[in-house]
Amino acid sequence: MPSEMEVSFPGDDAMKILSFIALAFVISLAVAAPSHPAGDPKPEMAGQNYAQGEEKARQGEWAEAAALFRKVIEEDDQHYKALNMLGYSLRKMGKAKEAIAAYNKALSIKPDYAPALEYRGVAHVMAGNKAAALADMQKLKSLGSPLAEDLGEKIAAMPAN
Average pLDDT of every residue of the chain:
84
SS3 category, 94: coil
**Which pLDDT score, from 0 to 100, does residue 32 have?**
43
pLDDT band per the 50, 70, 90 thresholds, residue 52:
very high
Residue 147 lies in a domain: yes
**Which pLDDT score, from 0 to 100, does residue 158 have?**
92
Cβ(107)–Cβ(117) below 8 Å: yes
pLDDT for residue 6 is more than 60? no
Cα Rg, the chain, nearest whole Å: 26
The total number of structural domains in the chain stands at 1
Residue 18 lies in a domain: no
What is the span of the domain harbouring residue 105? 45-156
Residue 34 lies in a domain: no
Residue 28 lies in a domain: no
Residue 1 lies in a domain: no
Supply angle C-alpha 43, 107, 113, rounded to 5.
Answer: 70
Residue 139 lies in a domain: yes
Q: What percent of the chain has pLDDT over 70?
A: 71
pLDDT for residue 36 is more than 60? no
Residue 6 lies in a domain: no
**Which pLDDT score, from 0 to 100, does residue 20 have?**
62
**Which pLDDT score, from 0 to 100, does residue 34 have?**
42
What's the CATH code of the domain at 53? Answer: 1.25.40.10
**Which pLDDT score, from 0 to 100, does residue 9 have?**
52
Identity at 66, one-letter amino acid code: A
The secondary structure of 103-147 as a DSSP string is: HHHHHHH-TT-HHHHHHHHHHHHHTT-HHHHHHHHHHHHHHT-TH
**Which pLDDT score, from 0 to 100, does residue 51 have?**
94
For range 74-95, the mean pLDDT: 97
pLDDT digits (tens, 9 = 90+) for 122-159: 999 999 999 999 999 999 999 999 999 999 999 999 98
In this prediction the pTM is: 0.72
